[in-house]
Amino acid sequence: MGLDITWAVDWVRRSADVIAEHRVELITLDREIGDGDHGENMDRGFQAVLPKLDDLPAGSTPGDVLKLVATTLISTVGGAAGPLYGTAYLKGAVAAGGSVSLDGPAIAKILEAARDGVVTRGKAEPGDKTMIDAWTPAVDAAAQAATSGADAAGVLDAAAAAAEAGAVATEPLVARKGRASYLGERSAGHRDPGAESSALLLRAAADVANAAAGV
């Protein structure tokens, strides 16, 4: 079963809830190795999207929703997460195109485009202790699931699980990008907040897809 505008809107609502629930946790993670604003910034960004969902014109597509999230995050999130997530959602929107329903391969393609956008914007590589360390295994797992014939929800499940493992795996890494890189070796032993929020958002996408499918 493909994922449509209802899924996209519900994903944004669920994302806003999840980010709000984990706001303090993200702030704490970011305070340990960064500037401590990640949870607050992400929360502000997603809360700003919510009222705009009601103004989406009839006939809007999942791609339109992704674009709305992109422009809102870029304008409202003050830290690096604004341009990075904004670019991710924007590239995802371009990959989604005008499709009204997204199947497994389409979801895998969207995730890949989003990850590529983050890499282009932030120039981080796997192992730099950034959100890319959640995104890259997620994209790989999504591609594999799609190739194996998984439906959209199955692809998102695979992506979310891989992103969660990727976020945990950032803990021993030494940061080479962003504010945490100023800490050098002292950044080891802490989970990267951007990788954690990426995993939360992908898990929200999978949960909403599964709920729609009645799983």
Q: What mask, x for binding another protein by CB under 8 A, covers residues 11 to 50?
A: ------------------------x-x---x---------
Judged by CB under 8 A, the chain residues 118 through 147 that form the site for another protein are 121-122
Is residue 179 close enough to count as binding another protein by CB under 8 A? yes
Is residue 115 close enough to count as binding another protein by CB under 8 A? no
Placement of tokens 């499940």 in the chain: 157
Burial of residue 58 (CB within 10 Å: 0-12, 13-18, 19+) is: exposed
Region binding another protein by CB under 8 A among candidate stretches 5-13, 77-85, 92-100, 167-175: 77-85
Distance, CA of 86 to CA of 23 (rounded, Å):
19
- HSE-CB at 89 with a 13 A cutoff on CA atoms is 28
Contact 138, 110 (CB under 8 A): no
Longest distance between any two alpha carbons in the chain, whole Å: 52
Structure tokens at 82: 């604004």
Least separation in angstroms between CB 116 and another protein: 14
Least separation in angstroms between CB 75 and another protein: 5
Is residue 86 close enough to count as binding another protein by CB under 8 A? yes
Least separation in angstroms between CB 199 and another protein: 21
Structure tokens at 40: 């607050």
Contact 187, 195 (CB under 8 A): no
Least separation in angstroms between CB 206 and another protein: 28
Residues binding another protein (CB under 8 A): 35, 37, 41, 74-76, 78-80, 82-84, 86-87, 121-122, 177-179
